[in-house]
Amino acid sequence: MTNDLIQTIDSLMVNIPAGEVVLRDDRIKKEWLVQIQPFLLAKYAVTIKLYDAITNSPLNNFDKNHKPVVNISWNDAIAFCNVLSKKSGIKRILFYFLHL
């Protein structure tokens, strides 16, 4: 992957500032305040072309390269984010969940 692609991806990230959100569970009729740490969020959905370039795992949808990636597992999405973070020099913060 070229540095140009990484720079393009970095330029399309939006900084979401720290803040607070009120969560509510209607089943138990409780609300609580949660602190949210700042994070980066992609401005656009991940395309099949970008997913293939980052993961080297072609999705066999060459005619749909500019369409969003769909029907991948949670773990595949995390793996994509972790590889992209590593190539961009961003600290990896996503972890896999093991289903027993």
The string over 25-63, giving b where at least 16 C-beta atoms fall within 10 Å of a residue's C-beta and e elsewhere, is: eeeeeeeeeeeeeeeeeeeeebbbbbbbbbbeeebeeee
CA distance 48 to 5: 15
Q: For the whole prediction, is pTM greater than 0.85?
A: no
Residue 71 Rama label (left phi>0; alpha psi -120 to 50; beta):
left
Please write the tens of the pLDDT for every residue from 7-35: 777 778 899 999 999 999 999 999 999 99
- Average pLDDT of the chain? 82
Beta strands in 37-84 (DSSP E): 39-42
Residue 96 has pLDDT above 70, yes or no: no
Residue 1 has pLDDT above 90, yes or no: no
Mean pLDDT lowest for which of 4-8, 35-39, 58-62, 67-71? 58-62
Give the model's pLDDT for residue 100: 45
